Structure 1
Amino acid sequence: MRLVTFNIRHGLGRGGAVDHEALAEAVRALSPDVLAIQEVDRFQPRSRFTDQARICAEAMGAVDHRHVPAVAGWMSVPGLRWRARGREGYPAYGIALASRFPVAAWRTWRLPMASRWVGPVQLGVDEPRAAVAADVRLPSGGITVCATHLSSRLGNASKQLPWLRDALREVPRPLVLMGDLNLRDAAAATLTGWRPLATAPTFPVGRPRFQLDHILVDDAAHAADAGGAVCVGVSGQAHALDTGVSDHRALVADVAFTVPGG
């Protein structure tokens, strides 16, 4: 199966305008079986009031997908401010996860935030962040896939990732974590103790110098107790692709599973 994580930057194309046709074509060309996307608009003026998670899900032929708002409200209208979360149908911005395989259950988390103070003065406030996980049903067994987008501010990503690792402790294995983690190169694997399935620079898109986008696996052997897959291995060359959309490259890993008794 093919795993892809892609920070789509609300579908912004090379010309500086949102291009949903280019976004859909990029997703079709990537041909993911499970896709994690970040910086996803829903019903925003700047992206022509579309549901970008649905655009991507339909382009890849997903049978199930979930958009999880990190913030709600207009993201690009002067004088109006976003707020955390938001009800269904409300303009929002966040992350999404889509799968060509059936999803048995969904889980979501709100990640811890941070702010910076110098005496009585607040210098910065972190943007709310979220994570979503799907129990994906494969022909060979089950796998949990989690998508997230960690903070780029205040050094908070290095605190959010261990928090999320602990929150995911009880979900079934094997577990794959995908997303823009805003941690460079080997830092994400070091903080989690999980194995990278793809190693390639992803940012900035034209001449990438470092890897911010990651696909990590925790394929602990106790997954066999639940009758699921035991081990996830890369079956092809993992790579980062310039799709013509966004300021990030999409990170792709083709993986295979070792099944108990197989």
Structure 2
Amino acid sequence: MKTQLIFVLTALLFFISVEADSQNDLRIMTYNIRNGMGMDMKPDYKRTADVINRFHPDIVAIQEIDSVTNRSSKRFVLGELSELTGMHYFYAPAIHYDGGKYGIGVLSNEKPLHVHYLPLPGREEARVLLIAEFDKFVFLVVHFSLTSEDQLTSIGIIQQELAKIKKPVFIAGDFNAHPDSDVMKLLSKDFKILTPPEKTYPADKPEECLDYIAIDRRSYKYVLFQNSFLVNEPEASDHRPVLLDVKLSR
């Protein structure tokens, strides 16, 4: 009887340990969806959601997404993606566009504790930094300007925000910059890029690496890197999504 009790307690402790450990597993996706417009130039939000659902991410950084614009038939695109994926959402508009707005967003399985966004420079169009705080980490979403000067200024703003945050910080998005660019070198002073420098754009025949996921260097030692890969999705958008699997060790 005593032996059976010890066995049951041991099994229970193992189950609790595995369950607690699994709660620290995190799958991150970044995806420039071009507002659901595929390489066939047809908008299809279900197709976009199917790409996300296929890989079961815990959190997704979304770029290039409309909110009730005329070109989107006054549909709130991120809200529709939220329904199709069963994930929480938060939208950060960057500009007024075509009767509505255009910007970035986040989808997540866990409801954020707090979400807000800040303006970033963009000479061709305004940009924003989305900041979502969760229980164990903070998630930043970006879609940088096409201008290198604006990109470098954006990094400075991110550095200022990073100094205020005590939790591990992930940043993900379309940086519109190549791995060897000045902006990615500057970002790498404070962040460790965890995704491979594989080409993500254009989706059908990728020629440029523009999309990344990184973690702040203060917290890098608390994260167990597991896997990262470029999703072979050549049709649903003009960018391919990037995925990252990590385990938070605290």
Q: TM-score, normalised by structure 2?
A: 0.81
Contact 2:94/2:127 (<8 A) preserved: yes
Deviations 1:224-251 (A, max 9, x none): xxxxx96223212432331521111101
* Residue in structure 1 matched with residue 199 of structure 2 by the alignment: 201
| Residues 49 and 3 of structure 1, relative CA distance in 2, 3 Å threshold | same
How far 1:55 sits from its partner (Å)? 2.2
Q: How does 1:130-149 map to 2 (within 5 A)?
A: 130-137=128-135, 142-149=136-143
Give the Cα–Cα distance (whole angstroms) in 2 for the partners of residues 70 and 47 of structure 1: 17
* Residue in structure 1 matched with residue 185 of structure 2 by the alignment: 190
How far 1:102 sits from its partner (Å)? 2.4
SS of residue paired to 2:75: coil
Give the Cα–Cα distance (whole angstroms) in 1 for the partners of residues 148 and 124 of structure 2: 7
SS of residue paired to 1:37: strand
Give the Cα–Cα distance (whole angstroms) in 2 for the partners of residues 108 and 27 of structure 1: 23
* Residue in structure 1 matched with residue 159 of structure 2 by the alignment: 165
Q: How does 1:110-129 map to 2 (within 5 A)?
A: 110-113=119-122, 125-129=123-127
Deviations 1:171-212 (A, max 9, x none): 232100001011112445421221111112211212222210
Query: Gaps spanning 5+ residues in structure 1: where?
Result: 76-90, 114-124, 222-228
- Of the candidates 252, 257, 260, which is equivalent to residue 243 of structure 2? 252
Deviations 1:142-179 (A, max 9, x none): 10001011101364223322322223321232100001
Check if 1:109 corresponds to 2:118.
yes
Check if 1:55 corresponds to 2:80.
yes
Residues matched between the structures, number? 221
RMSD, aligned CA: 2.0
Query: Gaps spanning 5+ residues in structure 2: where?
Result: 1-25
Give the Cα–Cα distance (whole angstroms) in 1 for the partners of residues 34 and 166 of structure 2: 31
* Residue in structure 2 matched with residue 226 of structure 1 by the alignment: none
How far 1:17 sits from its partner (Å)? 1.6
* Residue in structure 1 matched with residue 13 of structure 2 by the alignment: none
Contact 1:241/1:251 (<8 A) preserved: no
Give the Cα–Cα distance (whole angstroms) in 1 for the partners of residues 225 and 82 of structure 2: 24
Contact 2:201/2:209 (<8 A) preserved: yes
* Residue in structure 2 matched with residue 92 of structure 1 by the alignment: 101
Contact 1:11/1:23 (<8 A) preserved: yes
Larger radius of gyration: 2
| Residues 36 and 237 of structure 1, relative CA distance in 2, 3 Å threshold | closer
Greater shift in the superposed pair: 37-46 or 47-56: 47-56
Q: TM-score, normalised by structure 1?
A: 0.78
| One-letter identity of the residue aligned with 1:250 | P
| Residues 204 and 155 of structure 1, relative CA distance in 2, 3 Å threshold | farther
- List structure 1 segments (4+ residues) > 4 angstroms apart after TM superposition: none
Contact 1:146/1:178 (<8 A) preserved: yes
Contact 2:31/2:61 (<8 A) preserved: yes
Give the Cα–Cα distance (whole angstroms) in 2 for the partners of residues 108 and 233 of structure 1: 28
